[in-house]
């Protein structure tokens, strides 16, 4: 029987992009199970991938959040069970690949009810509650981040081709509409943006515009934040391309001499794959500080620096802003950081996960053939 892989994960690009990266190497029938959030549809429309949106919602302790979670759970489980049965009716052997998060959990529940194997692909250094729950119900587990306390097989970062620069910086800059010959700072808070990072750059442009001299900025703000950021750069006389969302991430990374960003697993993986020195500002509201731990391999290698996001723009300017200013003016420091990526090795986790999935399907087919004799 032909294997059909059901990839479950959504709500942010951090769950969807690694799935797309694995699919580039899998070359097998598949279905993407994502959330009903607009960002999921936008990412997958750009990728040309059909998908099924589940009504699942994150679990929460507040009454309204709990009600939303409960209302979305059962319909999501039923939808995935129907997809599994449809696949079997077409002579396919389903295999669920859980990319983590609130979409993956009900999909795993459906897979267990239908006796379908589950592979968990963990992406964060501190597995969240959903991933810990999924892990206890998985046939196999791989992790692309060191997860202390979890003895899971590890693979390198998982990065899609559309986030890997294939051309020199000047070419990437020109394609984005930037000056091909000017040093470039990439600023991104992830696919949905980060208000505190936006505010830091606004404050930097207003109070220390000299720090940006000789640089141009490519800034992904998230929706609804771009106008204010664009105005701050214009008032400071800074060269900047400000957009809510960057479609061409390969060119964005290829254009960058330095990046200021969150340290979600996907961002860290893409920085690694493109050897871009980074100043990471981990998301400040996670109690487990998993974004700080995500960045640890690059920081330990000397390829990145981590600062604390103090949320307040003035406090961030006094702390992270000083670090950013130093990196913008110290070409030797940036060169050392870029060279440090050489010791990290290739970010080829997507190919390794795909190989693992294909091997599992081959074993299952061999076992089924043996039982049918």
| pLDDT digit string, tens, across residues 279-323 | 999 999 887 888 999 999 999 999 999 999 999 999 999 999 999
Contact 250, 21 (CB under 8 A): no
143, 209: one domain:
no
What would the pLDDT profile of 162-198 be if each residue is shown by its tens digit?
A: 999 999 999 999 999 999 999 999 999 987 889 999 9
CATH number, position 304: 3.40.50.2000
- Domain containing residue 184: 162-344
- pLDDT the model gives residue 363: 76
Surface-to-core class of residue 184, CB atoms within 10 Å of its CB (0-12 exposed, 13-18 middle, 19+ buried): buried
Q: Which residues of the chain have pLDDT under 50?
A: none
330, 223: one domain:
yes
150, 138: one domain:
yes
Domain count for the chain, please give it.
2
36, 138: one domain:
yes
140, 204: one domain:
no
Q: Which two tokens stand for residue 229?
A: 């950021």
30, 100: one domain:
yes
Q: Rounded to an integer, what distance in angstroms lies between the CA atom of residue 16 and that of residue 14?
A: 6
237, 321: one domain:
yes
331, 202: one domain:
yes
120, 246: one domain:
no
Q: Rounded to an integer, what distance in angstroms lies between the CA atom of residue 372 and that of residue 370?
A: 5
Q: Which two tokens stand for residue 285?
A: 């509201």
Scan for tokens 């990319």, then name that residue: 99
- pLDDT the model gives residue 287: 79
194, 320: one domain:
yes
Length of the chain: 373
- pLDDT the model gives residue 61: 75
195, 91: one domain:
no
CA trace torsion 281, 284, 289, 293 (10° rounding): -10
Global confidence as pTM: 0.90
235, 353: one domain:
no
* CA-based R_g, the chain, Å: 21
């Amino acid at each position: 029987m032909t294997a059909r892989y059901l990839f479950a994960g959504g709500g942010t690009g951090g769950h969807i992009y690694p799935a797309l990266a694995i699919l580039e190497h899998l070359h097998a029938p598949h279905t993407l199970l994502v959330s009903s959030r607009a960002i999921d549809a936008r990412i997958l429309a750009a990728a040309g991938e059909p998908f099924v949106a589940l009504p699942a919602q994150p679990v929460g302790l507040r009454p309204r959040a709990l009600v939303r979670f409960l209302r979305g759970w059962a319909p999501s489980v039923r939808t995935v069970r129907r997809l599994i049965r449809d696949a079997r009716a077409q002579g396919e052997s389903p295999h669920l690949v859980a990319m983590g998060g609130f979409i993956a959990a009900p999909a795993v529940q459906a897979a267990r009810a239908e006796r379908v194997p589950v592979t968990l692909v963990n992406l964060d250094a501190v597995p969240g509650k959903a991933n810990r729950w999924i892990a206890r119900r998985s046939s196999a587990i791989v992790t692309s981040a060191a997860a202390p306390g979890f003895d899971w097989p590890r693979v390198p970062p998982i990065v899609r081709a559309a986030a890997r620069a294939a051309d020199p910086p000047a070419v990437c800059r020109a394609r984005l509409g930037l000056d091909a010959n000017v040093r470039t700072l990439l600023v991104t808070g992830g696919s949905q943006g980060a208000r505190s990072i936006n505010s830091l750059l606004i404050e930097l442009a207003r109070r220390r515009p000299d720090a940006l001299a000789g640089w141009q900025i490519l800034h992904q703000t998230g929706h609804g934040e771009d106008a204010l950021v664009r105005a701050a750069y214009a008032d400071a006389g800074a060269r900047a391309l400000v957009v809510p969302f960057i479609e061409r991430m390969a060119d964005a990374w290829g254009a960058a001499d330095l990046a200021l960003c969150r340290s979600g697993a996907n961002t860290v993986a893409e920085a690694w794959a493109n050897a871009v020195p980074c100043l990471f500002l981990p998301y400040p509201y996670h109690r487990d500080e998993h974004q700080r731990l995500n960045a640890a391999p690059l920081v330990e290698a000397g390829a990145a620096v981590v600062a604390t996001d103090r949320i307040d723009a003035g406090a961030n300017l006094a702390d992270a802003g000083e670090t950013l200013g130093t990196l913008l003016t110290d070409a030797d420091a940036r060169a050392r950081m870029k060279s440090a990526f050489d010791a990290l090795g290739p970010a080829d986790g997507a190919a390794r996960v795909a190989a693992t999935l294909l091997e599992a399907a081959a074993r299952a087919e061999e076992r089924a053939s043996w039982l049918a004799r």
